[in-house]
Amino acid sequence: MTAAHVEPLTRRPKNQLTRAPRKWQSGALLIIFVSFLAATVWSWTYIDMTLSTLFGGFEELWNLITYMFPPNFDNLPKVIEATIETIWMAVIGTTLSVLISIPLAFFAARNTTPNPVVFATARGVITLARAVPTLVLAAIMTWPLGIGPLPGILALAIHSIGMIGKLFTEAIENTEAMSREAVSSTGAGKWQTILATIVPQITPSCIGTALYRLDINLRESAILGFVGAGGVGFVIQMELRGLDYQRAISAVSVIFVTITIIEVIAARLRASIIGDNLSAPTTPTKRTLARERRDQRLLIDAVTTRRLTPPWTYERTLRATAGVTFLAVLVFALVTIEMPLISAFGLFDEVVASFGSLYPPDFTTAGPELWQGIRETIAIGFTATTLGLVLAIPLGILSARNIMFNRAIYSVTRLFLLALRGLPELIVAVLFVAAMGLGPVPGTLALTLGTATFMAKLIGDALEEVSPVPREAVLATGASRTQEFFTSVIPQALPTLVSQTLYMLDVNLRSSTVLGIIGGGGIGFLLLSAIRVLEEQTVGAIIIVIFVIVYAIELLGSFVRWIVE
């Protein structure tokens, strides 16, 4: 090895050196891994999952889908109207959550919070908002607000604060400190320093987070109609209740196409904003090359003429056009959506009173049904996470373009995953329940499918982000591609994969709490029953139990990430 190869290793910061985990850390990871396997085995047996029900469930779903064809589009005008309402709900709810999350994130970030009390309060609000599922919030909101899009919009906004606020906070805490110190040394105040240094650094990632959350909210708003909170979910539910499967599949196909198109647009904009080079085609087209040459000329001209404003390159024009379009869509949505925007402010006290009526919680009225439903919810979450991971690993490998050098393979895999993600999980669960009947097994299979598609994308992204330097070093020794994959790629991606698995367990535990609303098992059926008969304190007890479980998994995930990193 030459001196040129040795020198970077000696200069590497201490916290980046590769080290073996301490003995207690290895023991803790082993205990957590064994506990996860034991919980999965218990969950598998508790919900009576077998290989025959596993494969038979997908076969029965396929039989139902074939029975639904050809779709009957005679209700297309009503479906399109409900789909537009779904889009407006997602746009307004996401915008509202972003506006609330911005100050919360600055209060919750360690490097910008005014004092420890504000820090703890802001962190608590963000965590609590993330713990309660959107569908549960929407069902509670219908008490004071009635049926319609307004409860759905508020539910989307409140729940989105949990994710957006958390990611905004992390972006603020990860900003570079030297520029803040430089600006502070000039005599600038605290908030002047924040506006001059932190805001420019976090803006790209925050916009990317908002776009990603808009994508998620579009899926969630599509199923809020199941509890009367507006959107296309109400139409799908009514058609399925009437056993009119041809009309139901027509509504599902419309929302599927809508979600897929918006996801493609949002992904392209996120790539442009955060500078994701992997989003670009591997082999540039003539048009792409011509566009890049034009942008280079504009940049060179701006530098040579010392222009104070950046040139209007293709990417900047794309981002500006998207921003203006979004503002126009937001205004149009506020004007055209059928809900009492002004009078809704007068219902604020009633909304607060509705949430206040959940406490003190009543753990005795539901009795054994409460704890049985919680056990079933936990079993569904663990089983779906494990099965989804088993399916996601090969799909994630096939979708990583730096692993699968055959462009056709990873392109087809990415398109396949994109198509499957176009179906909201609760709608998939409805189809499984319609095909297999009531119970936790159809709900588990629906979550498994959603977990597999989402985890496959995360795994593929994690594999694409590994450093090529260790891979080249291993290949230089004469190792095969398989050996190189297991010795250089997997060790780099393992911390991220462990973190993502625990995150999916967290997500699935929240998702499994609402499966009972459509007969998919878990605590959701008891929760919906308590909401319908206005047993507010029983609802409060269920929400507290859900919060404790989800928060415990989140703490465990933070602990494991700290060990493996």
Q: What is the pLDDT of residues 350-369, one digit of tens each?
A: 777 777 777 788 877 777 77
How much is the pLDDT for 345? 62
How much is the pLDDT for 565? 58
- 31-53, pLDDT tens digit by residue? 878 888 898 899 888 888 877 77
- 377-401, pLDDT tens digit by residue? 888 888 988 988 888 888 888 888 7
Per-residue burial over 518-531, b if 16 or more Cβ lie within 10 Å, else e, is: bbbbbbbbbbbbbb
The position carrying tokens 């996470």 is 385
Give CA–CA dist 554/506, Å, rounded. 7
DSSP designation for 488: I
How much is the pLDDT for 561? 64
pLDDT at 346 over 70: no
- 445-464, pLDDT tens digit by residue? 888 888 888 888 878 877 87
pLDDT at 470 over 70: yes
- 72-104, pLDDT tens digit by residue? 888 888 888 888 888 888 889 899 999 999 889
For residue 238, what are the CA distances in angstroms to 217, 378, 506? 22, 30, 31
How much is the pLDDT for 424? 73
Please state the rounded mean pLDDT for residues 416-442.
Answer: 77
269: CB partners within 8 A, 6+ apart: 211, 318, 319, 322
N- to C-terminal Cα separation, the chain: 28
Instruction: Give 124-150 as a DSSP string.
Output: HHHHHHHHS-HHHHHHHHHHHH-SSHH
Give CA–CA dist 24/357, Å, rounded. 46
How much is the pLDDT for 526? 79
Q: Which residue segments constitute the domains of the chain, with CATH numbers given?
A: 22-68+360-391+423-565 (1.10.3720.10), 71-280 (1.10.3720.10)
Please state the rounded mean pLDDT for residues 459-481.
Answer: 80
Percent of the chain scored above 70 by pLDDT?
A: 88
